[in-house]
Amino acid sequence: MGDENEIVCVTGAGGYQASWLVKLLLLRGYKVHGTVRDLSDEKNAFLKTLENAAENLQLFKVDLLDFDGLLKAIDGCSGVFHVACHVPSSTIHNPEGFNLGLKYCILGRDDSTCCGGYVQCAKGMFRRQSEEGGDGVIYFAKVKRVFSWINWYSYAKTAAEFQAFEYAKAHGLDLVSVCPSLIIGPLLQHKMNTSTLLLLNFTRDGVEAVENNDWMVVDVRDVAEALLLVYKKPKAQGRILEQGVICKFSSEKLQKLGWRYRALETSIVDSIEDFYEKGLLDKMRHI
């Protein structure tokens, strides 16, 4: 259980992964500061229905590039779970301001040590491909090359990791980055996200063929457990890859900390049952 006076911040609290983390934190006794882009948006209303939310959840209207907004949300917190990823609809005209926002998510406040721990959920690991198009290794180095449009989201997450680790190292901050693979599992929010939509479309419409390649997946509930686990374990450090099936990545770091993942079959069945309950699938069609 969390200390009854311990307050933590979760960015992007209304999102698919972050909402499960908020739910877990509330169940474990933490007080949570959750950031959302719009307090009046009905898509975030479900957060207030979570167990213990009435007493222990406070939502803040925050844009990730808004320094002052982040100040209010993070102030007084013992740790930050940075789950949100800013995806601007246009060009960032003030990249230094963007960097400051990222740094502030880590530090909390330049003249204070209010944040004792920082956990980043770095979704979208960047997988390098050779010029010939073959698969490469997990790429975690500064890159100077031309990308196709499918690379940019993952590259942005990797670049943010670099910024975070460099800043944390320079200022002696405690930072852990958890890198999940494709996340599936039940939804708490009503809006579909990319990974669950992929599974829904596959289940509902089917496909004529699928790529003969590894699918690296992990359950959304297991990711939430992993994020809290590395926050609580002093020996957790650095970059942690997270997936629950055999593939080219390794979850050894997390498993040594005591993390266990659900079977793939459980995640898929729970996801599809959730689709039925939300009216996204016609149950009779699939019996």
- One digit per residue, the tens of pLDDT, for the chain of length 287 reads 555 579 999 999 999 999 999 999 999 999 999 999 999 999 999 999 999 999 999 999 998 778 888 889 998 998 889 888 655 545 544 444 445 445 545 444 333 334 445 566 554 333 333 333 333 333 444 555 555 656 666 777 777 778 888 888 888 878 888 878 888 899 998 888 888 888 888 777 777 766 766 677 889 999 999 899 888 876 656 555 544 444 445 567 777 777 777 888 888 889 888 888 888 876 434 43
- Give the per-residue pLDDT at 121: 59
CATH of 7-183+216-261 among 3.20.20.70, 3.30.1310.10, 3.40.1350.10, 3.40.50.720: 3.40.50.720
Q: Which amino acid is at 165?
A: F
Inter-residue contact 283 to 211 (CB < 8 Å):
no
Domain boundaries, the chain: 7-183+216-261
Position 137 scores a pLDDT of: 36
The catalytic site residues sit at 157
Let me know if 79 is exposed, middle or buried by CB neighbors in 10 A (0-12, 13-18, 19+).
buried
| Element of type H or E holding 270 | helix 264-277
Work out the angle between the directed axes of helices 220-232 and 16-27 (0-180°, nearest 10). Answer: 60
- Specify the 3-state DSSP secondary structure of 217: strand
pLDDT at 111: 38
Phi and psi at residue 96, in whole multiples of 5°? -65, -35
Q: What does the pLDDT read at residue 18?
A: 94
User: Quick one: pLDDT at residue 180?
Assistant: 82
pLDDT value at position 224? 93
Query: What residue type is 11 in one-letter code?
Result: T
pLDDT of 3 reads 59
Dist. CA 75–CA 113, nearest whole Å: 10
* DSSP 3-state of 205: helix
Angstrom distances, CA of residue 203 to CA of 198, 219, 221: 9, 17, 21
pLDDT of residue 21: 96
Please, what's the largest Cα pairwise distance for the chain?
60
Q: What is the pLDDT of residue 151?
A: 63
Interacting residues of 119 by C-beta distance below 8 A, sequence separation 6+: 79, 80, 81, 82, 175, 176, 177, 178, 227, 230, 231
Strand, coil or helix: 81: strand
Exposed/middle/buried for 234, CB within 10 Å: 0-12, 13-18, 19+? exposed
b/e 137-168 (16+ beta carbons within 10 angstroms → b): eeebeeeeeeeeeebeebbbbbebbeebbebb
